[in-house]
Amino acid sequence: MSSSEDAPLLTGGVFLKDRWEVLRKIGRGGFGEIYKAKDHDTGERCAIKAESAVSSKQVLKMEVVVLKRLQSCSPHICILLGCGRTDRINYMVMSLLGPNLSELRKQQPNQKFSLSTTLRVGVQVIAAVRAMHNCGFLHRDIKPSNFAIGASSVTKQTCYMLDFGLARQYVTPTGEIRAPETGGRVPWDRQIRFNQRPPV
C-alpha cells in the first residue's frame, strides 16, 4: 500500500485556487477520488472530485462539460462550483451531498425502502433522467449509487443525479440525433431507434 498509485491524490489542508481547502477523503470511484472540502469564499462545505492528470482513463473533462450544460435543466443536478488542474490532478468542485441511494437502502430495516419512499425517490429519479434527455444527453450509468440526497436540512428530501463521466451527447447542435458509435458491442442504452428521442 506504499506505492504512488495507492497514495491519495490530495491531502488535508491543501488549497485549490486559494479558495477550496481539502478536509478529508470521503470516497473513491473507478475514475478518481472524492474529498470533503471547505469553500473559504462562502464558508460552506463542498465536495472535490479529483483524478490523476497522467491516468490513461480521464473522465472529468466530460463530466465538467455535461454538468455545465445541465446546471439550469433540473433541480436534481448537483451544483458545479468550479474546476481546474494542477501538474498532478484534474479536479472539479461541486455541492456536497449526503449518502447515495444504495447506502441509504442498506441502512433500512430488511435493507428495503418503504413503498412511499420508493415512489417519492422514483419520481425524482425519473425527473432527473427526463431533464438530462431533454438537454440532449444520455447518462449511460444509471444505478442507485449515482443518486444521492442533499446534505443540508433544506435539501435532504431532494434526490440528485451524480457521475456524468460516461455521459454522451446524443443530439447535435442542430437538433439532429447522432448516429451510434461504430465498432465493438453496442451498449443497451444505444439499442434504440436513433430517429427519435429515447423514452424516459
**pTM for the predicted model, two decimal places:** 0.82
- Indicate the pLDDT class of residue 195, thresholds 50, 70 and 90: very low
Answer yes or no: is 4 within a domain.
Answer: no
pLDDT at residue 1, as a whole number: 42
112 is in an annotated binding site: no
pLDDT at 194 over 50: no
**Catalytic-role residue among 6, 18, 41, 141:** 141
Number of structural domains in the chain? 2
Domain region containing 112: 98-190
**Does 18 participate in catalysis according to the annotation?**
no
pLDDT digits (tens, 9 = 90+) for 39-51: 999 999 999 999 9
Do 72 and 114 sit in the same domain of this protein? Answer: no
Do 42 and 107 sit in the same domain of this protein? Answer: no
d(CA 194, CA 151): 38
pLDDT at residue 188, as a whole number: 43
More confident residue, 50 or 176: 50
pLDDT digits (tens, 9 = 90+) for 106-118: 999 899 999 999 9
Q: Specify the CATH number for the domain of residue 176.
A: 1.10.510.10
Residue whose C-alpha is closest to residue 100's, from 47, 157, 146: 146
Q: State the average pLDDT for the chain.
A: 87
Q: Looking at 81, 96, 111, which one is the last position of a domain?
A: 96
Going by C-beta distance under 8 Å and a sequence separation of 6 or more, which residues neighbour residue 162? 78, 97, 100, 146, 147, 148
pLDDT at 32 over 90: no
Do 107 and 156 sit in the same domain of this protein? Answer: yes
Q: Specify the CATH number for the domain of residue 83.
A: 3.30.200.20
